[in-house]
Chains A and B, each alone.
Chain A
Amino acid sequence: DVKVTQSSRYLVKRTGEKVFLECVQDMDHENMFWYRQDPGLGLRLIYFSYDVKMKEKGDIPEGYSVSREKKERFSLILESASTNQTSMYLCASSLLFGLPAGELFFGEGSRLTVL
């Protein structure tokens, strides 16, 4: 079974802190994604990556950056956390790039609270 593991289920940070959210997948998937989920807004794509060191902006990249140094790991970085970044963050992976988007495999989510 594909497993997508997010390093922290719950985090509480202070405004201005640098926050790292880590995601690891164990099935050699090419594509990895970071979404945030907010009530009434559904899931919104922040960034995605289709290869090591490659990244593409999603719909709401402002205030975030990402890093993909290894194929299995995709990190989301909040350089200076703000209260409006309080949210549930979901990492996902999928098998291949260059084809119609296939099934996404999600992690359990990281609930971030910024005080």
Chain B
Amino acid sequence: SQQGEEDPQALSIQEGENATMNCSYKTSINNLQWYRQNSGRGLVHLILIRSNEREKHSGRLRVTLDTSKKSSSLLITASRAADTASYFCATDAVNAGGTSYGKLTFGQGTILTVHP
């Protein structure tokens, strides 16, 4: 079953606007990661946030994590046409022993289109 579910499925904005994507998940996690995928290419890691962190920044990216609501958001500020891509959240779930399964489970992704 899918651990992470992104919302919205698609987002269309103008250059300069902010883009916010949300991710919900079902079980306890060690960390949550966001990835970007340009059309027809592999995924590229953007940012990792641990379960004991609430917010993290990297350049124009801001990620929040609310473990009580089992949700995360990715904010891209001052978007550019080059930000057009699919964005995926991925979770590292906690196993029965309280550690990691050693693998990530991905959501279905949000397709972001930034118009010049």
Contact = CB atoms under 8 A, between A and B. Distances in A.
A112 to B, nearest CB: 14
A39 B107 CA distance: 12
Contacts, number: 69
Interface string A53-94: 000101100000000000000000000000000000010100
A107 B100 CA distance: 24
Contact of B31 (A4, A97, A100): A100
Interface residues of A, number: 31
Contacts of A45: 103-105
B100 A100 contact: yes
Given A100-B31, A101-B31, A41 B102 contact: no
Interface in B89-107: 90, 92, 99-107
A31 B102 contact: yes
A48 B43 CA distance: 17
Interface of B: 2, 30-31, 33, 35, 40-45, 48, 50, 88, 90, 92, 99-109
